Amino acid sequence: MSPIARRPEADAPVKKQIGPRINDEIRAARVLLIDEKGEKQGVMPLAAALEAAREATLDLVEVSGDQEVPVVKLLDYGKLRFEERKKKAAARKKQKSSELKEIKIRPNIDTHDYEVKSRAIHRFFEDGDKVKITLRFRGREMAHQHLGMQLLEKMKVDFAEAAKVELEPKLEGKQMTMVLAPR
């Protein structure tokens, strides 16, 4: 019986450092310590800085590790991470993503229906959304595409101060489309 060939065992994957180094993860022999009040305590051995952190019941966090003597600060690391997460969540909350809303009309739309649709379009622009206007032709309406183009041109003029034309009117099969974006 022949021996079983095995693959050589791989080394353990290297754990990628996320965020600043804290406490025992700091590798420098000497560090510049800043206390919890923000005052410089001076350059000292790492062991003395760790002892100061233990006495203050805080974490030793590497603020700037790319200098000759890394700068470390005494603070509550859990509280720092919590505040950073809250800032990121607040920034995400303030972001506004623009949606594309669609309004469907016909070439022989009545004046009241046109007014209702235009009020909806104004409301979409106030919310910061883009509007795709789709004009659908049925049957013999295809013979009068110029009426559809006139209607879309009228809409362009009506919304000239509130919006700019992002995509000019174009015919695709049995429908004509135009995209307006808020100013």
Report the alpha-carbon distance of residue 114 to residue 137 in Å, rounded.
16
Mean pLDDT across the chain, nearest whole number? 84
Q: Where are the alpha helices (DSSP H) in the chain?
A: 46-55, 77-94, 111-126, 145-158
Residue 11 has pLDDT above 70, yes or no: no
Give the model's pLDDT for residue 92: 83
Whose tokens are 């025992």? That residue is 24
Mean pLDDT of 65-84: 83
Per-residue pLDDT band at 103 (split at 50, 70, 90): very high
Give the model's pLDDT for residue 119: 93
Per-residue pLDDT band at 26 (split at 50, 70, 90): confident
Give the model's pLDDT for residue 63: 80
Per-residue pLDDT band at 84 (split at 50, 70, 90): confident
Residue 19 has pLDDT above 70, yes or no: no
Contact (Cβ atoms closer than 8 angstroms) between residue 142 and residue 125: no
Pairing between β-strand 59-64 and β-strand 71-75 as defined by DSSP bridges: antiparallel
- Structure confidence by residue, pLDDT tens digits, 114-156: 999 999 999 998 888 899 999 999 988 888 888 889 999 999 9
Q: Quick one: tokens of 5?
A: 């060939």
Report the alpha-carbon distance of residue 131 to residue 170 in Å, rounded.
15
CB-based contacts of 38, cutoff 8 Å, min separation 6: none
Per-residue pLDDT band at 32 (split at 50, 70, 90): confident
Residue ranges of domains in the chain, CATH in brackets? 23-93 (3.10.20.80), 100-182 (3.30.110.10)
Per-residue CA distances from 156 to 101, 109, 129, 162, 179 (Å):
16, 16, 16, 10, 10
Contact (Cβ atoms closer than 8 angstroms) between residue 65 and residue 30: no
Contact (Cβ atoms closer than 8 angstroms) between residue 171 and residue 142: no
